[in-house]
Amino acid sequence: MSELRHIRPEGLSNSPTYTHVVGARGAETLYISGQIAIDADGRPVGVGDLAAQTEQVMQNLQTALTAAGATFADVVKITTFVVGYKPEDRATIASVRSRYLPTDNPPASTLVGVSALAAPEWLIEIEAIAVIG
């Protein structure tokens, strides 16, 4: 069984949407490739719609986690890449993400604005690291 420690250091602002430090002990670490908004047949989903693409990306992450015997509760770190990021995009992404990630002990998280992803129709890509025991 894996053991996760969610550390909220004094001197750093406490956020309900991510944890600054997550320590993990467990039998296996999973590195999940960046997931993009494509369906199981490889077709783009939600072209031009950040919320729809975020939903598909989170569903794809869930599928990958499930295949490895993990859940979002096992995720210790996520990195989100957003094309042409604007501050108002954060609320759109958070509203979808909050339905998947645990609210009591969210993973460590980084959000990065980028100029482009591997295909022009993709607006968001999210990769994850999980620990299972």
Mean pLDDT value across residues 96-120: 96
Backbone angles phi, psi at 66, to 5 degrees: -60, -40
Provide the edge-to-edge strand list for the sheet that holds 124-132.
28-35, 124-132, 75-83, 108-114
93 by Cβ neighbours in 10 Å (0-12 / 13-18 / 19+) ranks as buried
Number of domains in the chain: 1
Domain limits for position 90? 3-132
Question: What whole-number distance in Å separates Cα of residue 39 and Cα of residue 101?
Answer: 21
DSSP label at residue 107:
P
Q: Are 92 and 51 in contact (CB under 8 A)?
A: yes
Is residue 56 within a helix (H) or strand (E), and if so which, with residue range? helix 50-67
Q: What are the tens digits of pLDDT across the range 34-93?
A: 999 999 999 999 999 999 999 999 999 999 999 999 999 999 999 999 999 999 999 999
Is residue 52 within a helix (H) or strand (E), and if so which, with residue range? helix 50-67
Please determine, for residue 10, whether its predicted confidence score (pLDDT) is greater than 90: no
Please determine, for residue 2, whether its predicted confidence score (pLDDT) is greater than 80: no
Mean pLDDT value across residues 111-122: 97
Please determine, for residue 13, whether its predicted confidence score (pLDDT) is greater than 80: yes
**What CATH number does residue 89 fall under?**
3.30.1330.40
DSSP label at residue 27:
S
- What is the overall mean pLDDT for the chain? 93
Question: What proportion of the chain, given as a percentage, has pLDDT over 70?
Answer: 99
The pLDDT of residue 133 is 82
* pTM, rounded to two decimals: 0.89
Question: What proportion of the chain, given as a percentage, has pLDDT over 90?
Answer: 77
